[in-house]
Amino acid sequence: MTVHNFGAGPAILPKEVLEEAARAVVNYKNSGLSLLETGHRTETFQEVMHEARQLVRELMSLNDEMEVLFLHGGATLQFLQVPLNLLSEKGFASYTETGTWSVKAIREARFVGRIEIAGSSKENNYYSLPEQLHITPGADYLHITTNETISGTQWQQIPFDAGVPLVADMSSDILSRRLPFNRFALIYAGAQKNLGAAGVALVVVNKNLLGKTGRTLPTMMDYRNHIAEGSMLNTPPMFAVYVVLLTLRWLKGKGGVEAIEQHNEEKARLFYDTLDALPVFTSPVSRQYRSRMNAVFTINNPELEKKFLERCKAEGMIGVKGHRSVGGFRVSMYNALPLESVKAITDLMKDFANQYG
């Protein structure tokens, strides 16, 4: 049976990437060694790190002000490391409160300094995004979560014109669409959704904004140390970086961000058009904020919920159950998910609606 992986993360990876990664476990590039038993200071691994960094630069069209880092601790450590590096001792930062992940980012940032909320969609159960932002002049930065993985919203209009440096958690939509990446002060993303394997986070930061907080940071917390050491301040998560490299090569081979954006649009269109045409299913997310990466939806008759999930399971559709905090269903359509998988689940949905609608 073909398995379709709609899981939210760690998520689907291209088959070619998995096969090549598997070879590297046993014998990396015919060196007779596994990449897992190779020193991180060797030329072999330096090349991996270098190419991964270069491919990020190329795929995002980064300029020379932007630095690319591969760090441990996931996006969750970035919730803390970002304010440590960008929030000045006497200043404040502005955050949008748009779902589970931004709430966590806000909670960590408050350990560091003063945070104001620029806009919230809490009263709408995070199924929308704030229509307007209110930012007190002088904020050190504005933080957004470009794609809220759990409630299924995605910023289509990025607030570049807010008049403050913009920081974005892009964990679940990094490199899924064209964006003017150089206009961000800082971008971070855990790799395990759209970029590779768990264990590494990508950070892209404008180096001109660093070192201005008035705060002395412990070594591992200071981005400038990671920049100086090329993301090798200590032993990097080597294999996770390697899987990122393979995924970036795959993405480049597919035609890069522009091509994948079209592919992602096509998948999302097919999914939401099907959903909207079937009265038995509903999306709680406001139409203009729907995520192209994570489609969140429910079934109108709660008694059918279990039946639908059983049917998905029987047909090899993995990871369709919604996050435990919101229930319902979630279909994640990351870069590596083929259109065929979306066809498969929309066919199943139509069939299910015919049977029970």
Ligand X SMILES: *Cc1c(COP(=O)(O)O)cnc(C)c1O
Q: Which is catalytic among the residues 140, 193, 250, 267?
A: 193
Binding to ligand X in span 78-117, by CB under 6 A: 101
- Choices 70-78, 84-92, 213-221, 310-318; region in contact with ligand X by CB under 6 A: 70-78
DSSP string, 223-270: HHHHHHTTT-SS---HHHHHHHHHHHHHHHHTTHHHHHHHHHHHHHHH
Q: Where are the alpha helices (DSSP H) in the chain?
A: 15-26, 43-59, 74-86, 100-109, 223-228, 238-253, 256-277, 304-314, 339-356
101 is catalytic: yes
193 is catalytic: yes
CA distance 183 to 149: 23
Count the neighbouring beta carbons within 10 Å of the beta carbon of residue 355: 11
Closest distance of CB 149 from ligand X, Å: 3
Asked if 341 is part of the footprint of ligand X (rule: CB under 6 A), the reply reads: no
HSE of 324, CA atoms in CB hemisphere, 13 A: 0
Single out the residue of 75, 195, 293, 296 in contact with ligand X (rule: CB under 6 A): 75
Specify the residue, 247 or 274, whose C-beta has the smaller distance to ligand X: 247
Helix (H, G, I), strand (E, B) or coil at 318: strand
What is the C-alpha radius of gyration for the chain, rounded to an integer number of angstroms?
21
Asked if 248 is part of the footprint of ligand X (rule: CB under 6 A), the reply reads: no
Single out the residue of 67, 97, 140, 169 in contact with ligand X (rule: CB under 6 A): 169
Count residues binding ligand X (CB under 6 A).
13
Q: Cα–Cα–Cα angle for 36, 41, 46, nearest 5°?
A: 85
- Choices 166-174, 209-217, 240-248, 339-347; region in contact with ligand X by CB under 6 A: 166-174
Burial class of 356 by CB neighbour count within 10 A (0 to 12, 13 to 18, 19+)? middle
Fill in the per-residue mask, 183 to 222: x = in contact with ligand X (CB under 6 A), - = not in contact: -------x--x-------x---------------------
Comparing CA positions, the residue from 354, 348, 356 lying closest to residue 300 is 356
- Choices 133-141, 165-173, 241-249, 329-337; region in contact with ligand X by CB under 6 A: 165-173
Asked if 76 is part of the footprint of ligand X (rule: CB under 6 A), the reply reads: yes
Strand partners, 143: 95, 167
250 is catalytic: no
Q: Which is catalytic among the residues 101, 140, 155, 321?
A: 101
Rounded to the nearest 5 percent, the helix, strand and coil shares of the chain are 40, 15, 40
Single out the residue of 7, 14, 74, 322 in contact with ligand X (rule: CB under 6 A): 74
- Choices 74-82, 132-140, 299-307, 321-329; region in contact with ligand X by CB under 6 A: 74-82
Closest distance of CB 278 from ligand X, Å: 27
- Choices 28-36, 68-76, 233-241, 299-307; region in contact with ligand X by CB under 6 A: 68-76
Closest distance of CB 107 from ligand X, Å: 12
> What residue ranges bind ligand X (CB under 6 A)?
9, 74-76, 101, 145, 149, 169, 171-172, 190, 193, 201
* Active-site annotation, residues: 101, 169, 193
